[in-house]
Amino acid sequence: MSTSEISPDAESGTRPVYKVYKRRFWGLAQLVLLNIVVSWDWLTFSSISTTAAGYFDVSESAINWMSTAYLFAFCVVSPLVIYILNKGGPKPAIVTTAALLLVGNWLRYAGTRANGGIFGLAMFGQILIGFAQPFCLCAPTRYSELWFSDRGRTSATAVASLANPLGAALGQLIDSEWATKPSDIPDMVLYISIISSVAAIPSFFLPSAPPTPPSASSAIPHTPLGTATRQLITTWEFWQILIPFSVYVGFFNSVSSLLNQILSPYNFTETEAGIAGAILIVVGLVTAAIMSPIIDRYKHYLGSIRALVPIVAVTYIGLIFAPSSPAGIPPSYVVMAILGASSFALLPIVLEYLAEITYPLSSEIGSTICWTGGQLLGACFILIQDALKAGDDASPPSNMRNSLIFAAVVAVVAAPFPLTIGLFGRVVQRRRLEVDRGIELREPSTGSPDDRVKKIDTGGDIETFIKS
């Protein structure tokens, strides 16, 4: 659909007409593909840690570093991600993702094929793919704000963001089937490299931006980057979201990476661990697909957050007991299903709520900082939980019960932060939604309606917005 915007007329009072374009779905589909393959690449070796360790002749802890280094790589380039998304929009970020995926995957394949396996070269390719991840993972909120109206933003953010764990689910399921013995590793990496290349190439042909804005909030320029960053980190509500977001994303990353090692001491196979990981993600995706359109319609962001966060925290407590249950693998499947449903439904709601309450600060700043916190803590949690693994003299040997207790304690401690948003006399407003619905233009102010919009445009103190 190609449309034009009607310009406002000061005398007649005609207001702009904002439109969305069908081509927005092409870019959204490309973000989905990139997030799938970049996450699949992440768990290529961790999902079959025992087999991969045998092929490279290294320990499972060394294989864990393939996942950990990937997460640390995210943190290294996150400032560049914020800059590119803020100055250039989603298109340059998507192209950067595609280029790094192409180079990283084929270097990693060379590392598995040459001389019977060169661990260092495979690790280097893995790190390049880690550099690629934040450019596509942090882009959804910026993309949905640029191309979608308030009637579809949450769903668009959900589809693109939750494609990332879908890729992890594919890795959990498919890798264990493609690599049943160490000698299968090179062929498995070859297949993944081909799939990643096919998914990456269309990125270079996407449009940069729609011809006209989809909504009023999209038409108003955002606060300058430096000013916005300073305002954001001095806003208490931002920290109330950042802390639990980082903790829960971090534990999702660590549990996904270590799931095989969590279950294997209880005589569960890599295939059963892969099924558990797939249940975590597939059930989560289905739940998010149901909830996101509802949130788009009714905008119950904070109420949903307060309902879902306690479920996430309690489920980590259940994960302590599920692997050792005498009932076998089903309790672990149930816990993974509940954890996936609550976590995945929560993710896009939190990202969109953060964009709503911090407007007119550009959405990619907050989302990138939150994602970076999640990746950083995920890497740290992997190292900590690996160090807490029981020894060979434990019962059962090498169990990760202490690691799961650590996860449960931290998850419970993080829960009160989002639950107390808007309490203690602070009124939190959904500023972006108000602009889209024209509320800002009707609010009393000391100046004209145009002056009121200009005040938002030039970046007044976000604390004043929240308290107003």
Q: What is the pLDDT of residues 342-396, one digit of tens each?
A: 999 999 999 989 988 888 888 889 999 999 999 899 989 988 999 999 989 998 9
pLDDT at 240: 95
Describe the crossing of helices 225-233 and 60-88 by its angle, rounded to 10 degrees.
120
pLDDT at 13 over 70: no
Size of the chain, expressed as the number of residues it contains: 468
* Residues contacting residue 163 through CB under 8 Å, at least 6 positions apart: 31, 32, 33, 35, 36, 39
Q: Answer whether the bond into residue 396 is a cis peptide, omega within 30°.
A: yes
Is residue 273's pLDDT more than 60?
yes
Minimal CA–CA distance to 453: which of 220, 231, 224? 220
pLDDT at residue 318, as a whole number: 96
* Sequence-separated (6 or more) residues with CB below 8 Å from residue 409: none
Cα pseudo-dihedral 10, 14, 20, 21, rounded to 10: -90
- Determine the residue type at 133: Q
Tokens, residue 210: 């729609």
Average pLDDT, the chain: 85
The closest alpha carbon to 148, from 214, 94, 221, belongs to 214
**Domains assigned to the chain:** 24-467 (1.20.1250.20)
Read off the pLDDT band of 445 (50, 70, 90). very low
Residue range 158-184: average pLDDT?
A: 86
Which has more confidence, 361 or 333? Answer: 333
Q: What is the pLDDT of residue 457?
A: 40
Q: What is residue 353's predicted lDDT score, i.e. its pLDDT?
A: 92
pLDDT tens readout for residues 187-217: 999 999 999 999 999 999 999 989 888 888 7
Residue 143, CB half-sphere, CA atoms under 13 Å: how many? 31
Q: How large a percentage of the chain has pLDDT more than 90?
A: 51
Q: Is the pLDDT of residue 253 over 70?
A: yes
Tell how far CA 380 is from the center of its chain: 17
pLDDT tens track for 63-115: 888 888 888 898 899 999 999 998 999 999 999 999 999 999 999 999 999 88
How many whole angstroms separate alpha carbon 450 and alpha carbon 440?
A: 10
Lowest mean pLDDT among 4-18, 68-82, 105-119, 252-266: 4-18
Instruction: With residue 342 as reference, give the H or E element that holds it.
Output: helix 330-358
Tokens, residue 237: 């509500």
Q: Is the pLDDT of residue 408 over 90?
A: yes
Residue 420: pLDDT band (50, 70, 90) is: very high
Q: How confident is the model at residue 16 (pLDDT cuts 50, 70, 90)?
A: low
SS3 content of the chain, % helix, strand, coil (to 5): 75, 0, 25
Which residue shows structure tokens 């062929």? 187
* Residues 131-138, mean pLDDT to the nearest whole number: 93
Average pLDDT over residues 34-39: 94
Taking the C-alpha atoms of residue 73 and residue 135, their distance in angstroms, rounded to an integer, is 12
Q: Checking phi first, is residue 393 left (phi over 0); if not, alpha (psi -120 to 50) or beta? A: alpha
